[in-house]
Amino acid sequence: MQNARMSAPWLIICASFLFASVGVAVKLASVQYSPGEIVMYRGVIGMLSLAAVSRWRGVPLRTPVPAMHAWRSLVGVSSMCLWFYAMGHLPLATAMTLNYMSSVWMALFLIGGAVMLGGARVDSRLVATVLVGFVGVAAILRPTIERDQAWHGLMGLLSGVLAGVAYLQVTALGRAGEPETRIVFYFSLGGVAAGALVMAATGGPHQHTLPGALSLLAVGVLATTAQLMMTRAYATGRPLVNASLQYLGIAFAFAYGVLLFNDPVRPLSMLGMALIVGAGIAATRLRQMAAPASVANATVET
- What's the pLDDT tens digit per position in 115-135? 776 655 667 787 888 888 888
Which residue, among 227, 250, 299, has the nearest Cα to 87 in the 3D structure? 250
Residues of the chain with pLDDT below 70 are: 1-5, 114, 117-122, 143-147, 235, 239-240, 287-302
User: Quick one: pLDDT at residue 25?
Assistant: 96
User: Quick one: pLDDT at residue 295?
Assistant: 43
User: Quick one: pLDDT at residue 12?
Assistant: 87
pTM higher than 0.85 = no
User: Quick one: pLDDT at residue 119?
Assistant: 59
Q: How far apart are alpha carbons 113 and 115 in whole angstroms?
A: 5
Find the distance separating the first CA and the last CA of the chain, reported in whole Å.
24
User: Quick one: pLDDT at residue 299?
Assistant: 44
Which residue, among 7, 5, 2, has the nearest Cα to 234 in the 3D structure? 7
